Structure 1
Amino acid sequence: MAETAVSVVVPALDAAATIATQLDALAAQDADVGWEVVVVDNGSTDATVEVCRTYAAVLPSLRVISCTTPGTSAARNAGAAAAFGKLLLFCDADDQVAPGWLAAMTRALTHTDADAAGGAIENDLLNPGSQPYLPRHPDHLPVVAGFLPRAITANLAVRRDAFEALGGFAPEYDYGGPDTEFCWRLQLAGFRLAYAPDAVVHYRHRHELRAVARKAYRTGISRGRLFRDYARHGMPRPRLVGVLVRWAGLAAQAPVALLSPRVRWRWTEQASAAAGRVSGSVRFRVLYL
């Protein structure tokens, strides 16, 4: 096999029910460079590792390593440290890369001056019959909190030299905003983040309202941490009038949320995020509502 130029890092925790879909998609990739897949088992108690081992014939470059430190950031850092490639591609164990994903990500980092790239997120394939009001990812790299754009770690590529210069992902952000913090830190260090629209990942959304609320709450908390760490770099504080309008809107829509599933979904997400920002403000001793 050609010298390994690209390493695909896949963190996995109790992913036996979904990881085969991702490994099948990776096995079908066609690229003219040497590449490998590094699955990082993050303490699974199910058959995740056993499922991966069944792919030895169709994915001979597949390696499974263990990371005993909890959290996806620690797992991704461990995978990057064990990887051989100069280009690091990150995807998740519960999603599905589209045909041509690996080649498109490789082009994004070798045929341009980008140091990192975020690919496109497709919202429908793995969510058949889902409610139309489920959260959806946009067809671009969104600007977060009015500051800088970010790519999500479910579809991210980074040059190894840039990744190592940054020290990898920050584990303290693991439960809210590790991708945002990494992409901000990357851009502030002078590295370039690009969008790779041809590198598509089919994303598996959360289908339970409780899971959406938990994610929104954790993201809200992380905004306090981000503001503590990045206000001096230009991250703006929400305007008071906007905060008041948001809270008034939540209060006004609360009765409607009891009757309408569409309103309830959006209201729960927004209310959880608002509660998280309050909690984050207290925890990190900032005012970010």
Structure 2
Amino acid sequence: MTLYLERSKPRKEFKNLLGHANHLIITALVGLDGIERGVINDVPKDLRTVWSPKDAVISAKRSRRLILDMALIRAIDAIDVYLREAVRKPALIQLTSFRRDLDSAGLSIFKKMLAVEKHYPNLGRIPVAIVFLMIAWRNRGAHTEADLDAPQIYLDILKDNARELAERFSGLDAEMLLGGYDAVRPVTFKEVASLINAAHQLVAELDTRLLTSLDIELFLKDVVWTSLSDSQKLNERIDQARKRRAVSIWGKDPSDRGDAVLRFLGQQGFSKIRTGQQSGAVISEDLTTTLSQLTPKSVLRWANPPS
């Protein structure tokens, strides 16, 4: 049976961090609006704290800025998490030079994005440009990595594609966006929402590119070995854990082993159904058949990474 993987585990981690972000930001802003209009003037008793601002309206405005700034940081962190998870086993990023460049970037998400741009230069220009702007804006506001401004080529992309930018990002105004970046003013809600949208678009496209370029057998070996290794119990050696887990799947009667392997792969995110036209990684029927015919000993030999 042919199996499909259309969304990687790193992308799911990204969505866990940034999913429904706009809705949650709006929820917080609605609450702050209630404070500004005097609808809310006391702290709920279950918070068990004191809230007595000298000027509630000013406090609400400052809180709005804090929320938007934190949302900007969260979006950048989510991209960083995606890239960090993509190099961990089972490795979504298999290209040695790409992995090396990401490692050389250290903690700098700016340099990590330069590595992404280097190895995938044909990613959507506008989302990439917005993400670079987002990172640089955050760095300027926080006075970190201040020498790393958004590359001029991406500022020009946003300026030269103002109409497309507005169409794709809910009327986002390129001139106001770039002007705000130059002035290092606080980001607006529309800008934050657009930046988050761009982060989603960038990760979605990069994820598809990485999935479709996988050496699928190597990736599947990583998947199997990582899963077997993650099952270790207290006071159990790692080799014992792998053997026990392998026996629980590949030790079944040959008539049941195929279904057990398919269930195992389903737990790892592989599906029998391809949804829509979305592309991704494909495990051929021949490969799933081969995997289903392995025994506990042979699957451990097959999946064991080179020393």
TM range (shorter): under 0.3
Higher relative contact order (CA 8 A, sep 6+): 2
TM-score by length of 1: 0.27
TM-score normalised by length of structure 2: 0.26
Structure with greater proportional helix content: 2
More strand by share: 1
Which structure's CA Rg is the greater one?
2
